[in-house]
Amino acid sequence: MTADPTYRGFALDADTALALLQWQAELGADEPCLDAPLDRYDMPERVEAPVAPAITAAPVAAPADAAVDQVALAETLAARAGTLAELAQVQEGFDGLDLKKGARNFCFADGRPGARVMIIGEAPGEEEDQQGRPFVGRAGQLLDRMFGAIGLARDAVDAEKALYISNVLTWRPPGNRRPEPAEIAMMLPFLRRHVELAQPEILVLMGNTPCIAALNRQGILRLRGQWTEAFGLPTLPMTHPAYLLRTPLAKREAWADLLSIAARLGL
């Protein structure tokens, strides 16, 4: 059933038109009619194809060797640094790591350059990110007590009893997640140069990430306590203080590692 919706001759306002439309719907009118019949089968001889909207090309994915290029850049920048201050400057200016954008502060190192012992950790945590210094949270406080037990401290004036502390990553990863292999690879040239300029006698690798970076190995519970070599220096892997906070029973093994360091240094 159809109905003429025009109602010529009537002056309709909006409310009256709506009431009439509802009334027609109640009567069964389900389709409005035009003033003239429409032959829906009368198609034009040629239908113009619709013009497709312009499509913006999707961004091209970065080539697989983009990370390699960043590593090469890191190698070049690190090699230019002749002092620790210069290395800190070029490393802070390096933009290869996206996580740098979400970090608050650049965490280069703490302690005394020229110390006999250089400790390498994983990456800054929340408190380290706030202060711009490595190992200042609960794990860092435990680290200070651990090495203080064998007469070493980051604030010692005497290089014989001092510590120098850094991390593989100098910016905090989001949510304290573990560093990714590509991130470690980008930071490795800076880390290698850092060790060369700091000139420690021995290295201590705290946890899996520094072992991956310096030794290309992981499995800290198997590696800990066994002297090896990294960057041409005697190196001892140890369990990270954060692990010791979660697993107090492992402190006995950590104490054995500390005694091994003391014996190596002749303390």
pLDDT digits (tens, 9 = 90+) for 157-186: 888 999 999 999 999 999 899 999 999 999
Q: Which residues contact 163 (CB under 8 A, 6 or more apart)?
A: 111, 112, 115, 117, 118, 119, 147, 152, 153, 154, 156
Q: Considering only CA atoms, which of 232, 106, 110 is closest in space to residue 164?
A: 110
| Cβ-contact 99, 145 below 8 angstroms | no
Predicted local distance difference test score (pLDDT) of residue 65: 61
pLDDT digits (tens, 9 = 90+) for 79-122: 999 999 999 999 999 999 999 999 999 999 999 999 999 999 99
Predicted local distance difference test score (pLDDT) of residue 11: 63
Confidence grade of residue 249 (pLDDT, cut at 50, 70, 90): very high
Q: Distance of CA 134 to CAs 76, 125, 126, 251, Å?
A: 25, 8, 10, 21
For the chain, percent of residues with pLDDT exceeding 90: 72
Predicted local distance difference test score (pLDDT) of residue 9: 56
Query: In the numeric block, which tokens belong to residue 212?
Result: 């991956």
Predicted local distance difference test score (pLDDT) of residue 232: 96
pTM: 0.74
In single-letter form, the type of residue at position 29 comes to: A
Element (H, E) at 192: helix 181-198
Pick the CATH number of 69-265 from 3.40.470.10, 3.40.50.10440, 3.20.140.10, 3.40.50.300: 3.40.470.10
What ranges do the domains of the chain cover?
Answer: 69-265
Predicted local distance difference test score (pLDDT) of residue 33: 62
| Cβ-contact 143, 152 below 8 angstroms | no
Q: What is the mean pLDDT of the chain?
A: 85
